[in-house]
Structure 1
Amino acid sequence: MNFITILVTSIFILNFFMAGAVIFLERRDPSATWAWILVLFLIPLVGFILYLIFGQNLTKKRLFFWEDYKKIGVNQLIEEQTNLLAQNKLPLRTREAEIHRDLIYLSLTSNNALLTQDNEIDIFTDGRDKFNRLFHDIREAKDHIHMQYYIFRDDEMGKKLIDLLTEKAKQGVTVRILYDEMGSRRIRKRSFNKLIKAGGMVEVFFPSKIPFINLRVNFRNHRKLVIIDGKIGYVGGFNVGDEYLGLNKKFGYWRDTHLRIQGNAVHAIQIRFILDWNQASNRHDIYYEEKYFPKTFHSGKIPIQIVTSGPDSEAEHIKNGYIKMITSAKKSILIQTPYFIPDASILDALRIAALSGIDVQIMIPNKPDHMFVYWATMSYIGELLKVGAKVFIYDNGFVHAKMIVVDKNAASVGTANIDVRSFRLNFEVNAFMYDGPTAEKLVEVFEKDMEVSRELTYEQYLQRPIIIRFKESISRLLSPIL
């Protein structure tokens, strides 16, 4: 009895000090603080272990450093663009860029997101189309292929891609693959043995230092990037695997959005890859070489900023960009996201927009990818339905697209969902585009998806069973740490 008393007392004291650390040392968002305190005291010992794994804070750690960053002149270009924008003297090639000058300034000054205005974009919404084009570009590669994915499956698609990359490595093309350990936990590095034997290089982001235990598992590199010869860049929602071709029976057809970019925005994508690669690599660091940033003239006319965010940063750059887009809208806001768990700032911005008469439309999947996240999503959806927003449930499989379009004049596509994890815990990357024709193409994509979706009305939402309301309440309570 004395032993049990001592154990219970020790756990209580430990929880007390952990709660104090969460409150006074971590300085988290209040909602996340309360969620962790709830977990610590409701499941004392397990809660402590969960906090050690999922509750770490990276905001004070500098993870990415690349001295050669200065050699490509980016710092100078950022300073010049900042000064010109502040003086209203930077020539902007599109009317849409002029409209969103303040958003451009925000991302430039807070995230060093250089504006490039010579880009051309191809939009992919089908996995087969995206991978057919990617495989074609890989076959045409002459110098290097840089590839980064959150999920890399060891299935038929993954094997075909590794085989093709192995062929290119044998031809003398430099091949680098970076994948996230948590997202790609089902693949082993030995799956890349033939690629490595052919000269390819493979690294893992935040690998486990102890077998089966990873204290950084909560911080996932959710980015999906490909750079080919420094001239072609891919960014968007598709990972590597058969499911992204619609071959998974659970999800069915996989609807995502991915961009193929040509122009100087590719240099920004290249920089992001190099920073991530050098952080993960102890043996294959990338140093400055002109071939990674070729000076080529491109006739594209689309202004783009590549904006990144992660848990190592004090600011939530992509979320701030979303809020700025929402608050600038005058007519319409279209959002596609597989998970909708906004914090108070995003939720208030959307609520105010809807109450102001702006046409707010949100499209979400009809099936859960992660159960708690799905029920939390439905709880927040109800709040927007109440103020007049329109919600569509995608019924043709699983919609995984991360897209926002405002007023048919600006859009963002990338890897960041509308949820707390993407804003605060994941390493993400989005392309912000200021071009009417591009925005209108994405609106057309949304409207085509509406044909295989059903609208969820507020009246229908109110009729959900009590058990569903209970699941929503519990999931919403935990949403700040999902």
Structure 2
Amino acid sequence: MTKRETHPYTGTVKKLLWRSALAFAGTQAAVIGGLVATDAVKKSQRKKRTGFPRPGTYTSSVSDAVTTVYTYGADLYDAMIDEIDKAERHVFIQSYIWKDDETGRRFKDALGRAAERGVDVFVSYDGFANLVVRPRFYRFHPSVHVLRSPIFRPGIIFANPRSTGLDHRKILVVDDRVGFVGGYNIGAPYATEWRDTHLRIEGRSVWELRHAFISFWNNTRTSRHPELPDPGAGFWEPRLRSVSNAPAGMVFPIRGVYLAAINRATSHIFITTAYFIPDGQILDALTAASRRGVDVRVLVPEESNHVLSDWLSRGFYSELLDAGVTILLYENAMVHAKTATIDGKWTTVGTANIDRLSLSGNYEINMELYDDKLAADMERIFEVDSGNSRVLTPEEWQRRNVVARFAELVLVPLRPLL
């Protein structure tokens, strides 16, 4: 047989591999279709869920900043709109989802009033996340500067992370005096039906949020958008700082911050996340912490608004439970918070979930805070949320049926995508 001749079985093997790949893809599609259809039926039969416990609002001081943690959307929105109405110089607002409903219009009207009295207003939102919103809703007051992240990013065809990241941040900065950041999007359902967490900062550390907004604006604006000045902070405060993912620069520090905190833990790790699809390092860090005696608890929605994410998350439960990690399933409402507190000292509140899209895909921002009082407040919030959750036991998990196990296995290759 010459060098250029092909082994007689090569063509047959290639055909078998190709057919196997197609068959597996078809099986995946069938499983996903079945899950989505079943979830749609369940949601259509489900009554509106609003009866979850409200952990409350907590205020403390971190260095010279006053921080407030909000856990109920209606309270948060009132505070945000009140600050917009008091704005004198500028308002920066960035939201992943901004619904055309009563709540969305309240914010839009408040920004219009601010612009009317001469305040410089800058708005940024994600075009893809708001495809279902009528475009005319985003016609703000003529003086408002609006930056929409593109609906379609050509880089997605080539899987280029520099140009595929969604704008998943949620930021409000008013007059460099007060800032807000966290998991809440803008919309009526989030005001009363979802459990989420947002952080308010008052004082010079608002610069952390201002810088994040301005950096995003200046790096993504077009020639018709004004450039914003971005002065340095003029101070150093390691106890309260922002950590921002910026795909265009291939900068993804939030993941590293989580890993460093988890690896330092000696007492307890309390994590709340809407979508939990950890990569290998984070999974290993959590299981290693549990095996060395750390009380590791992960609180996730029993049923989120994304059924595929739920099933991908379940694929990690066996390894977590085997390592002694406590899995808490939040009931009767969607928990959308992205928070963690460790050893009564370290806390993070922000926009990033523990999944690939957040940790190495989208534009995200988390605050990292070192303060005993704030950590104690976050532990109280976690305790209230735990009271509305059920513990998934190893025995219950082992009793799941064969169909569920098969679905988990088939979906494993999709983990890197979400």
Distance in 1 between residues matched to 2:278 and 2:158, nearest whole Å? 27
Distance in 1 between residues matched to 2:197 and 2:269, nearest whole Å? 17
Say whether 1:355 aligns with 2:296: no
Structure 1 gap ranges (5+): 1-8, 17-37, 47-115, 247-252
- 1:196 is aligned, of 130, 135, 141, to 141
Q: Residue 229 of structure 1 aligns to which amino acid in structure 2? A: D
Contact map agreement 1:307 1:430 (CA 8 A) in 2? yes
Instruction: Give the CA deviation at 1:264.
Output: 2.5
Say whether 1:187 aligns with 2:133: yes
Structure 2 equivalent of residue 374 of structure 1:
310
Question: Does the residue aligned with 2:315 lie in a helix, a strand or coil?
Answer: helix
Structure 2 equivalent of residue 65 of structure 1:
none
Query: Alpha-carbon deviations, 1:93-125, whole Å to 9, x = none?
Result: xxxxxxxxxxxxxxxxxxxxxxx9432210001
Contact map agreement 1:120 1:302 (CA 8 A) in 2? no
Once superposed, what is the RMSD of the aligned Cα atoms? 3.0
Taking a change above 3 Å as real, the CA distance of residues 239 and 40 of structure 1, as seen in their structure-2 partners, is farther
Structure 2 equivalent of residue 286 of structure 1:
227
Instruction: Give the CA deviation at 1:389.
Output: 0.9
Distance in 2 between residues matched to 1:421 and 1:342, nearest whole Å? 10
Distance in 2 between residues matched to 1:202 and 1:388, nearest whole Å? 48
Alignment of 1:6-17 (within 5 A): none
Distance in 2 between residues matched to 1:39 and 1:138, nearest whole Å? 54
- 2:398 is aligned, of 435, 440, 462, to 462
Taking a change above 3 Å as real, the CA distance of residues 435 and 220 of structure 1, as seen in their structure-2 partners, is same
Structure 2 equivalent of residue 229 of structure 1:
175
Distance in 2 between residues matched to 1:264 and 1:40, nearest whole Å? 58
Question: Does the residue aligned with 1:141 lie in a helix, a strand or coil?
Answer: coil
Give the structure-1-normalised TM-score.
Answer: 0.70
Instruction: Give the CA deviation at 1:302.
Output: 8.9
Give the structure-2-normalised TM-score.
Answer: 0.80
Question: Does the residue aligned with 2:239 lie in a helix, a strand or coil?
Answer: strand
- 1:275 is aligned, of 206, 209, 215, to 215
Alignment of 1:79-478 (within 5 A): 117-193=63-139, 195-197=140-142, 199-208=143-152, 218-246=164-192, 253-282=193-222, 283-288=224-229, 303-314=239-250, 316-478=252-414
Distance in 2 between residues matched to 1:259 and 1:381, nearest whole Å? 30
Taking a change above 3 Å as real, the CA distance of residues 313 and 328 of structure 1, as seen in their structure-2 partners, is farther
Taking a change above 3 Å as real, the CA distance of residues 39 and 431 of structure 1, as seen in their structure-2 partners, is farther
Taking a change above 3 Å as real, the CA distance of residues 165 and 440 of structure 1, as seen in their structure-2 partners, is same
Distance in 2 between residues matched to 1:182 and 1:304, nearest whole Å? 32
Question: Does the residue aligned with 1:341 lie in a helix, a strand or coil?
Answer: coil
Taking a change above 3 Å as real, the CA distance of residues 294 and 383 of structure 1, as seen in their structure-2 partners, is closer
Question: Does the residue aligned with 2:248 lie in a helix, a strand or coil?
Answer: coil
Q: State the percentage of identical aligned residues.
A: 34
Contact map agreement 2:270 2:296 (CA 8 A) in 1? yes
Distance in 1 between residues matched to 2:95 and 2:403, nearest whole Å? 37
Taking a change above 3 Å as real, the CA distance of residues 189 and 449 of structure 1, as seen in their structure-2 partners, is same
Q: Residue 119 of structure 1 aligns to which amino acid in structure 2? A: A
Question: Does the residue aligned with 1:145 lie in a helix, a strand or coil?
Answer: strand
Instruction: Give the CA deviation at 1:294.
Output: 9.4
